[in-house]
Amino acid sequence: MMELKITCIPGDGIGPEIVAEAKKVLNKVAEKYGHSMNFTDILMGGASIDACGVPLTEEAVAVAKAADAVLMGSIGGNTTTSPWYKLPPNLRPEAGLLKIRKELNLFANLRPAVLYDELAAACPLKEEISKAGFDMMIMRELTGGLYFGERRTVEENGVRKAIDTLTYDENEIRRIAIKGFDIAMKRRKKVTSVDKANVLDSSRLWRAVVEEVAKDYPEVTLEHMLVDNCAMQLVKDPAQFDVILTENMFGDILSDEASMVTGSIGMLASASLNDTKFGLYEPSGGSAPDIAGKGIANPIATILSAAMMLRYSFDLDREADAVEAAVKQVLAEGYRTIDIMPQKGETVTEEITQVGTARMGDLIAERI
């Protein structure tokens, strides 16, 4: 019996809808396995801008810090039409997310990309590639690099110029590399470290430090791959990857690509961890403002993120297994949200039923 304090960040767009379903599933887990789960909501992103004028308040950070873990939906709006994007960059929704990652020291972002047998028809790759299946973990460094370096826009002799800086020190690289190798030891014991060492100094240091860390993990096979090649390999032969270890921006881009080859970004969970058991768990997808409020968003990524929370922050492996099994079962029974419906022309053998967000949450909760 565990007493757990969970801070929820429903956020913007589809965020509140998908977080509600993850809470539903967690409540079922609590009831079935005899835990107590206490949820407190905080505002972040556009919702916080509207209510408080800033994308994340200090009070909200304090509430998150006091919890055992944080479960987040998504933040942000349409970047061309939302008034939030008329604000100075440091007051926009994304600044809240970057701030909470930094404040909570969440340097390790785990983004699993798995091809579910049941969703093979949604995979956009050719069958000769997808039939090998894939199951990879993208480990993205989350609090350094280009997204946290100094930036400014200046005007020199009437010419506008923007400067972003990409910095990594060896300690930042070492701690994420250690996490990457630790995770690889629990998986298929292969690390692909992704960099741009043919051009960037930060990548050359990355490669050197990863090599040093690898010495402590003789059982793990390490390979280095340039990021442009990796982007290509993800669609050419995704089965080759186990753990992909990479810096912040490369991981941002590659994880979206990896999620797409799984068939739907609506399936991809993520965990952002510091060096304790604390973590922030969120779907890899965005706030999808175009479908917000329609009750059609896929809650599975958020539900699987809640499963990661049970596993990584609370060591409740049995409960996490139960959530993941319930998701698989619902898919096997043919239930799909619209984003993972088979496309025209695809042959599907089982009977398929299209359901909305809340029904999908109910179906998963019922199977726990």
Binding site for ligand IPM (CB under 6 A): 76, 94, 97-98, 252
Q: How far is Cα 282 from Cα 79, in angstroms, rounded to an integer?
A: 20
Dig out the tokens for 10 from the structure: 């429903």
- Give me the catalytic one of 164, 228, 275, 315: 228
Q: Which of 195, 196, 281, 335 is catalytic?
A: 196
Q: Which is nearer to Mg ion, 191 or 258 (CB)?
A: 258
Residue 263 interaction partner, one of Mg ion, ligand IPM, none, beta carbon < 5-8 Å per kind: none
**Per-residue string for binding with Mg ion, 27-56, x by CB under 5 A?**
------------------------------
Task: Answer yes or no: are the C-beta atoms of 107 and 144 closer than 8 Å.
Answer: yes
Q: Any catalytic annotation for residue 256?
A: yes
From the list Mg ion, ligand IPM, none, partner contacted by residue 94 (C-beta under 5 to 8 A by kind):
ligand IPM
Longest CA–CA span in the chain (Å) reads 68
Residue 251 binding: pick among ligand IPM, Mg ion, none (C-beta 5-8 Å cut-off by kind): none
Question: Which among ligand IPM, Mg ion, none contacts residue 324 (Cβ within 5 to 8 A by kind)?
Answer: none
What's the closest the beta carbon of residue 367 comes to ligand IPM, in angstroms? 29
- Which residue's entry shows tokens 């099994």? 325
8 Å CB contact between 83 and 243: no
Shortest separation between residue 205's beta carbon and Mg ion, angstroms: 24
Is the CB of 32 or the CB of 151 nearer to Mg ion? 151
CB of 270 vs ligand IPM, minimal distance in Å: 7
- Is 196 among the residues known to form the active site? yes
Of 182 and 256, which has the nearer Cβ to ligand IPM? 256
CB of 67 to ligand IPM, least distance (A): 20
Which entry of Mg ion, ligand IPM, none binds 95, CB below 5 to 8 A by partner kind?
none
Query: Which is nearer to ligand IPM, 146 or 178 (by Cβ)?
Result: 146
**Known active-site residue 164:** no
Nearest distance from residue 46's CB to ligand IPM, in Å? 12
Q: What sign has the CA pseudo-torsion 285, 290, 293, 297?
A: negative
* Token pair listed for 264: 């739907």
Shortest CB 79 distance to ligand IPM, Å: 10
Q: Which is nearer to ligand IPM, 93 or 326 (CB)?
A: 93
C-beta of 195 vs 252, nearer to Mg ion: 252
> Please, what is the minimum distance in Å from the beta carbon of residue 332 to ligand IPM?
29
Q: Which of the residues 147, 168, 281, 312 is marked catalytic?
A: 147
| 228 in active site | yes
Q: Which residue is nearest to ligand IPM (CB)?
A: 94
**How far, in Å, CA of 41 to CA of 64, rounded?**
9
**Active-site choice (252, 281, 312, 335):** 252
Q: CA dist 341 to 217, 285, 324, Å?
A: 42, 17, 20
* Residue 252 binding Mg ion, by CB under 5 A: yes
Binding site residues, Mg ion, CB under 5 A: 252
Catalytic residues: 147, 196, 228, 252, 256
